[in-house]
Amino acid sequence: AEIRVAAAASLSDALRALDAAYRERHPQMQLVPNLAASGTLARQIVAGAPADLFISADRQWMDHLVTEKRIVPGTVRVLAQNSLVFLGRSDQTVRSLADLPGLQRIALCSPGSSPAGRYTEQALKKAGLYPVLQQNKRLVLAKDVLQARMYAERGEVDGAFVFRTDALLAKQARILFEVPADLHEPVLYPVGLTPEGARRAEVQEFFKFLASPEAGRILAGFGFLLP
């Protein structure tokens, strides 16, 4: 049988590993992933997309679906956590948020469209840096984390705010510093079942697996933090 998983694109690799691990135990089960931005997935599910399980990169979209009655409220829980880091070329000497005003171009994800962006905005605002950087047009808003990382890697920007898991995949760039966790809401990946999913026993089964230590190990292997 198929388990239809709508998952944020940043989880695609982890999901593939989870699928492989789960199939060893349940060879008859097949994961059918639909990978896109959380917002896209949420809207698809609202529009009636077939999905059993939704893994969002963001609380907001999960809440949105709960209010739209497309996610069963009691099933929502946190699958994994992530943290925000500043990624840049190795030759950069930036050490903390305080060094940012000296930079020319800083990439972050668009706060409107991407959770990473929203967290970054919160942190920068809390640190009192946002208005300055914004006014001097230092901020380049990327569509998503991938694009922000790509700017950093190619040196188009002096640095980019991305998730830790994404930063670990960088080749030319390295993590310059971690953004203090108290400057923004926690970065959570909530998972929840749709009403269709909640009705299916095999989906419940997989949902349980996601909470298992084995699944936790796999996620940790990709750099995620466990709740």
Site residues for other proteins per CB under 8 A: 6, 9-10, 12-13, 32-37, 39-40, 42-44, 46-50, 60-61, 63-64, 105, 107, 110-114, 137, 139-143, 146-147, 150-151, 154-156, 169
CB of residue 181 vs other proteins: minimum separation in angstroms?
24
The tokens for 119 are 């967290």
57 residue type, one letter: A
CA proximity to 127, closest of 96, 157, 91, 105: 96
* Amino acid (one-letter) located at 80: A
Q: Which helix (H) or strand (E) holds 15?
A: helix 12-25
Please report how close the Cβ of residue 180 comes to other proteins at its closest, in angstroms. Answer: 25
| 8 A C-beta contact, residue 120 and residue 84 | yes
Nearest by Cα to 226 from 168, 187, 178: 187
Token digits for 198?
A: 């909640």
Question: Of 195 and 212, which has the nearer Cβ to other proteins?
Answer: 195
Closest approach of Cβ 51 to other proteins, in Å? 9
Residue 39 or 88: the one with the smaller Cβ distance to other proteins is 39
Least CB distance to other proteins at residue 7 (A): 10
Q: Which is nearer to other proteins, 108 or 193 (CB)?
A: 108
